[in-house]
Amino acid sequence: MNLTPKQLKVLRIVRDSRRKLGYSPTMQEIADELRVSKVTVFEHVEALIEKGALHRDANKARSLTVSADVLLPEDETGLDDRDINGDVAAAGRLTFPLVGKVAAGYPIEKFEQSESIALEELFGPRKGRSGDTFALQVDGMSMRDEGIFDGDFVLVDKRSTARNGERVVALLPSGETTLKTFFKEKDGRIRLQPANPDFAPIIVDDCRIQGVVIGVLRRY
């Protein structure tokens, strides 16, 4: 697709706005960022729509979206031109929502964030997986002996069940979330086992499995 430098900038602005905010910018906001007139932006947008690079819902505000089959130059190299808190998003690859931190020490209350992590296809959907994968940042050292350290990112396959020995993200009856190894005991209770002798197992009658860890990422 033959796009001008200005048109590429418009696409990046729309793409980044939808990634960060969940909706597209207005014509005026694009104009302000490019430091051009609103009329000029309108011309660029119309040209991009005609080329099939942008889509717009005529009956809905902030509805510009970049066409799924459009690859920007940085997408083709596997790198995005933005850096979210130091985490480089690899466009053209899978991007998972970063929804908060999970305790690998003592349980902490979960929270949501609007960031995301982009990963290689290695962590994409596979046979037997739900395909719904998210990322969490580890807070604590209770899984140290399994190579999961404070500050690491774990990739989690969203599931509601787990097998003995799987590392899980579990929601406790108290409403707190923790990362531990799952074991169903003979008496029916659940043991959430840390991988660090400084931490005691968490024994509960029941808990809600939110997902099973399928990978660990560490940034140096």
Q: Does domain 5-70 have CATH number 1.10.10.10?
A: yes
What sign does the CA torsion over 73, 78, 79, 84 have? Answer: positive
CA distance 177 to 118: 23
Higher-pLDDT residue of 89 and 18 is: 18
The widest CA-to-CA distance across the chain, in whole angstroms, is 71
0.85 surpassed by pTM? no
CATH superfamily of 87-217: Umud Fragment, subunit A (2.10.109.10)
- Reply yes or no on whether the pLDDT at 62 is more than 60: yes
Average pLDDT over residues 20-42: 89
- How do the domains of the chain map onto residue ranges? 5-70, 87-217
| Contact predicate 168/179, CB 8 Å | yes
pLDDT at 30: 92
| Contact predicate 26/62, CB 8 Å | yes
The pLDDT confidence band at residue 59, using thresholds 50, 70 and 90, is confident
> Which residues are marked as active site?
142, 180
pLDDT at 77: 37
Find, among 217, 6, 200, the residue nearest to 107 by Cα. 200
pLDDT at 100: 72
pLDDT at 142: 93
Please report, rounded to a whole number, the percentage of residues in the chain having pLDDT higher than 90. 33
Find, among 89, 92, 88, 65, the residue nearest to 76 by Cα. 92
